[in-house]
């Protein structure tokens, strides 16, 4: 990798491993992120199981834009801005539900499941108005929407590459969680929402590749859950891999993350499933399903294999992030296993979970320390793991030996800088 020299790129020195702190506090950089990262990238919206039948909907955000995700009468999933084209009011305030359409509280415009303007209070007055054309007054749809093995993604940018190209070879890794069983996956009902006083990238980077903190930050939490600490993270058989800024750090211990639930039923279930998973995914990926690992799908969709917490870090300003968390399970898993995952996520990665509380304080102060005008001029060191790149006979993408590494975080920020400097997708290398 070479040192970038453009406006934003010079803030990220992937060659020497330095990062300018302004990317975590500068309001102008944050405003540009909303344009060039969030209004441009494919963003995670929902699991298909949340919108299984026509009329099922969830509301969420793409950056700071509110969107409604809804399955239409024709069975396809659409996503629309959750803002009325009349005076801009939010048209759906519920987080999830089932509807025949959406009615705006302000002046009574109503919209179909396909976003079209269906009716209006005092409709005759509008119909008498010269130039009025209801076909131009529906809810604004996203530019592109697509699914990958049960997960729904969308982008606001019509020039974005297709979802398959956006992921590239990263689907090899995604299938570890999304395709280790023929029945596929689902989200358990319910979503946990919380506010974190940190920059969204601090959280995304942590999941992209911060195995380093696990054995230190989470050691006491692990002692509470496991009866012992995390210990030293293995170098042998552990890796960081990234493709197009999507990052997966992992080892091949099968059970490391799953063990932190302190519930042995999940461990024995995963052990008995290993041969079947190996047949489906090959022996390497079968060892990754419950292993000590963490993942960030660029830009802000993270999950933990084994603990099965799936989450989005929604940006709310340079110093605030709104977190949505769900629990992913295999659809065909026995009920008691699904329940063990649900309880396990609540005890580890929820606002009251032991590990989430560990992380929250660190992320808050890593962000807020930049309030100091001298502090914010200092650079941060991201040089761990230079020289660990390897060619692996099976693992695709940029692969680095050793889980304790900054390689994925450099890749995440490198992709971020590439998008921030590009005027359009045509200038972004894949």
DSSP letter string over 325-350? EEEEEETTS-HHHHHHHHHHHHHHSS
Residue least distant from Fe ion (Cβ): 359
For Fe ion, the closer CB: 281 or 297: 297
Residues 213-272 that bind ligand FES (CB under 6 A): none
Q: What are phi and psi of 229, to 5 degrees?
A: -80, 175
The CB-of-362 to Fe ion minimum distance in angstroms stands at: 8
- For residue 21, the SS3 value is helix
For ligand FES, the closer CB: 108 or 189: 108
Summary count for the chain: helices (H), strands (E): 13, 23
Angle, vertex CA 144, rays to CA 72 and CA 47, nearest 5: 55
For Fe ion, the closer CB: 260 or 370: 260
Instruction: Say if residue 312 is exposed, middle or buried (CB neighbours under 10 Å; 0-12, 13-18, 19+).
Output: buried
Among 18, 66, 89, 141, binds ligand FES (CB under 6 A): 89
**What's the CA gap between 326 and 197, in Å, rounded?**
20
Among 87, 228, 264, 336, binds ligand FES (CB under 6 A): 87
The CB-of-192 to Fe ion minimum distance in angstroms stands at: 16
For ligand FES, the closer CB: 91 or 289: 91
Partner whose footprint covers residue 100, from Fe ion, ligand FES, none (CB < 5 to 8 Å by kind):
none
**What's the CA gap between 266 and 9, in Å, rounded?**
44
Q: Does 86 interact with ligand FES (rule: CB under 6 A)?
A: yes
For Fe ion, the closer CB: 13 or 359: 359
The CB-of-134 to ligand FES minimum distance in angstroms stands at: 13
- Nearest CA among 237, 255, 266, 231 for reference residue 340: 266
For Fe ion, the closer CB: 249 or 359: 359
Among 79, 84, 266, 286, binds ligand FES (CB under 6 A): 84
For Fe ion, the closer CB: 180 or 367: 367
Residues forming beta bridges with residue 240, ordered by sequence position: 249, 400
Q: What are phi and psi of 180, to 5 degrees?
A: -90, 0
Q: Which two tokens stand for residue 101?
A: 């359409």
Partner whose footprint covers residue 87, from ligand FES, Fe ion, none (CB < 5 to 8 Å by kind):
ligand FES
The CB-of-261 to Fe ion minimum distance in angstroms stands at: 15
Give the side-chain half-sphere CA count within 13 A for 373.
0
Partner whose footprint covers residue 86, from Fe ion, ligand FES, none (CB < 5 to 8 Å by kind):
ligand FES
Partner whose footprint covers residue 359, from ligand FES, Fe ion, none (CB < 5 to 8 Å by kind):
Fe ion
**What's the CA gap between 209 and 419, in Å, rounded?**
20
Pairing of the two strands 398-401 and 238-243: antiparallel
Partner whose footprint covers residue 107, from ligand FES, Fe ion, none (CB < 5 to 8 Å by kind):
ligand FES
Stretch that binds ligand FES, among 81-89, 198-206, 291-299, 348-356 (CB under 6 A): 81-89
Q: Does 109 interact with ligand FES (rule: CB under 6 A)?
A: yes
Sheet harboring 56-62: ordered strands across?
Answer: 77-81, 65-71, 56-62, 96-98
Partner whose footprint covers residue 205, from ligand FES, Fe ion, none (CB < 5 to 8 Å by kind):
none
Partner whose footprint covers residue 376, from ligand FES, Fe ion, none (CB < 5 to 8 Å by kind):
none
Q: Does 187 interact with ligand FES (rule: CB under 6 A)?
A: no
For ligand FES, the closer CB: 86 or 368: 86
- Nearest CA among 274, 280, 231 for reference residue 255: 274
**What's the CA gap between 109 and 118, in Å, rounded?**
8
Among 10, 93, 98, 107, binds ligand FES (CB under 6 A): 107
Element (H, E) at 209: helix 200-209
First-to-final CA distance of the chain: 14
Residues 351-370 that bind Fe ion (CB under 5 A): 359
The CB-of-111 to ligand FES minimum distance in angstroms stands at: 9
DSSP letter string over 381-405? E--TTTT-EE--SS--SEEEE-SS-
Q: Which two tokens stand for residue 381?
A: 């060191």
Catalog residues that contact ligand FES under the rule CB under 6 A: 84, 86-87, 89, 104, 106-109
Catalog residues that contact Fe ion under the rule CB under 5 A: 359
């Amino acid at each position: 990798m070479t040192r970038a020299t453009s406006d934003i790129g010079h803030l990220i020195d992937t060659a020497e491993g330095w990062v300018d702190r302004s990317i975590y506090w500068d309001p102008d950089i944050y405003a540009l992120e909303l344009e060039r990262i969030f209004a441009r990238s494919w963003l995670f919206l929902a699991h298909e199981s949340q919108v299984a039948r026509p009329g099922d909907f969830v509301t969420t955000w793409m950056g700071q834009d509110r969107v409604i995700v809804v399955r239409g009468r024709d069975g396809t999933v659409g996503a629309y801005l959750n803002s009325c084209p009349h005076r801009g009011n939010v048209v759906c305030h519920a987080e999830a539900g089932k509807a025949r359409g959406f009615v705006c509280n302000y002046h009574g415009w109503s919209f179909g499941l396909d976003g079209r303007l269906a009716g209006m209070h005092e409709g005759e007055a509008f119909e008498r108005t010269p130039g009025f054309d209801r076909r131009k007054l529906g809810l604004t749809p996203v530019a592109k929407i697509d699914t990958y093995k049960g997960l729904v993604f969308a982008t606001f940018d019509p020039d974005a590459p297709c979802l398959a190209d956006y992921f590239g070879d990263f689907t090899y890794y995604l299938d570890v969680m999304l395709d280790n069983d023929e029945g596929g996956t689902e989200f358990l009902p319910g979503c946990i929402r919380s506010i974190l006083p940190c920059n969204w990238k601090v959280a995304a980077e942590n999941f992209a590749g911060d195995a380093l903190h696990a054995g230190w930050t989470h050691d006491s939490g692990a002692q509470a859950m496991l009866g012992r600490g995390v210990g030293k993270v293995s170098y042998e058989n552990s890796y960081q891999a990234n493709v197009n800024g999507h990052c997966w750090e992992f080892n091949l211990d099968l059970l490391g993350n799953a063990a932190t639930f302190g519930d042995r039923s999940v461990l024995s279930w995963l052990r008995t499933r290993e041969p079947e998973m190996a047949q489906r995914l090959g022996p390497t990926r079968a060892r990754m399903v419950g292993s000590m690992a963490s993942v960030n799908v660029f830009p802000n969709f993270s999950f933990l294999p084994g603990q099965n917490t799936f989450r989005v870090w929604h940006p709310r300003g340079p110093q605030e992030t709104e977190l949505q968390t769900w629990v992913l399970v295999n659809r065909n898993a026995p009920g008691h296993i699904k329940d063990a995952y649900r309880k396990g996520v609540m005890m580890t990665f929820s606002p009251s979970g032991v590990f989430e509380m560990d992380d929250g304080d660190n992320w808050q102060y890593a962000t807020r320390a930049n309030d100091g005008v001298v502090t914010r001029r200092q650079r941060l060191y991201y040089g761990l793991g230079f020289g660990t790149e390897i060619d692996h006979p099976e693992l695709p993408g940029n692969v680095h030996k050793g889980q304790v590494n900054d390689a994925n975080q450099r890749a995440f920020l490198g992709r971020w800088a590439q998008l921030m400097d590009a005027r359009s997708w045509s200038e972004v290398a894949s």
